[in-house]
A and B are shown apart, each in its own frame.
Chain A
């Protein structure tokens, strides 16, 4: 059992806490995972401290739960599953080593850097991020990358690991390793002097360990920084809505827009999700959730340095023709919300309170990947489950995000519920678990399983679990990294 004194020697006096109030903040989150208080919370003052901390944990068989983002947490992955765990709070790692506009990269971004912070930093260089839809203000960029969160510009989402670049990680062995181009040769400074920017995520050689860190929920290593692939800030944009009650038509439009790379930000949502996103108070939410068209497709054309007007004009005409062919029309506003206003909202971090909690106080997400073909069937499954559970369909929001340039679609069912209402909470908890089976049967792939559902999902694929355990045994032979998560 590790002692506070031992921890203080590694991270400094002021960075170790066993204050019950501090511990309580990590004992639970917005999800329904069992409450368990950590033993200590350790704030990491610098990357250098992590290897020593891990070695200490290993010696003392202490569990470590890495956390990069600030509260509120949603998926249970930062709540200890084992007793006497230590929260490794990386949110203080705020350095951004280098932003290079020519190479379109933010290099070695500390695990604690939030979207707001990084967006500001890269914007000074004419760059922007391909970020998740309206992330919460406290969300760490690295944390988001490690969760393989879907991003809103499928055009620039070449691979599911994007926009991650090289990473620095401390494995459960205490060894420090840098993935991708950052591996070397040389120190980061030496690499940069040679022109290296630690942008390549893959490698070194015949392994791409960033892929195992992503989706690992801190079970494979503690990532202290990651480079982030950036995009240019457009010189001209043209956002618009396409609304319809016919989801199939909108999906077809989305397919072609992504395929032809017409549009940067591009996604679909139903009116409830739309209402929750834009409404600042309950009345507006109810009105929008009732009156807005059933489904909307949002896309934003962008142009850069050369002939921006010509590009927008051409793309706009191409998009118009495409939509016309489907009997659809692009509009500059929807239900009184301008596309410009909406665009700025979706690509900015949410002000507090986080938009998903703003109206009802609670939100439980059920999310997975699937193909366009199976989407409608899965929506029907979810709606049937919601109705069967006695939950209101008017508080089921649906967000559809084409990812990896349209090779699959992230489906997010958000159940907006009153967290203070114990009965409603219980209903949502049960619903979120019970619907997993029917969704799996209908073609949902839970690429990022969290919390209570994780084991159910992992058990579907014994061979993958066995293969993952082999890798886990390499990088965390003593099982000290976030034990109890996924299949570990």
Chain B
């Protein structure tokens, strides 16, 4: 939908500022009450969900133009959806969807971000949306006895389950190792998943988030065609972004695929629950879990709707419109998995699940404004440290990367400000599985 199509939603913003804070019932003190990294960093109201509704209406009415400054405000947002959840605690309209539309308009008006123009240019060929890749794209599975989905037939992929590693696994060592650990774990459980070794392509979701709708749509169609070609029934992703895009974005773009989409943590938890995986080796660690935005609040299935307001003075519709409020994100499987690892003690951060603070990688910010990405990560790491945890565990290579190297500004390891370690949950589970199933 175009930005103007969200006019009624945007006009419902009453300017209450709820979008700036975690849901009010959950505020536990002075600290960590903010939920929006953007306004927390840039302070001006325009950087909040509500402020974006305000100037967004200005854009619709032609009062505000698409200038570099407008683009700067629009792109300095992680699209983490926290504002959307906090708003919908009480209100009845979409905040996040107009933000996507705004970026699309920005790109249309020639205010896209040059660094992203370059990245997206390669998307048509399936190139990963990753700046400065560290590794060759096939490195991560090079030594693994994993089937190639392209080798058709039941012998190669009897379960018809495709493991989609994602761009980061294909381009960075750390994420590659995590992807390797993931397929190893699946294999340990006796599950023969396949990898599209030669043709795994970017899901295209991040391009959509940056306003390149057409390119993302084209990529989505190609990917779905490829899945069909491979005879895939289930898709398991190691990346929370990919997960959300396949599960939510593709249907939103009208690209139906009929696949069951799982995040690796959902899949692994099922295997643990079924007794097919038994973490036995103690990993003595006090950890806190960081909810990736795309796995958590943004992962509710897309709910297509078209209708009309049926009461003049009440936002109720015919047919009824059900808003995605972040209620039913993937919050429990990663936590249950962590709890299944002997020796691991899970402590929650002040902001978690549907009102978790973003890691800073989202919305393309790491590429467009590393300093802001670092700011957001630093806040999250400080919050994690507040819990007394020794490590922050998450379930998305983008989160891992930005928490380990906030904004890409710190070369390696944990951030300079933080002594806390950062793990992908799959790594930790793999460690607990070492030496036996």
Touching chains A and B, CB distance < 8 Å: no
Interface residues in chain A, defined as those with a beta carbon under 8 Å from any beta carbon in chain B: none
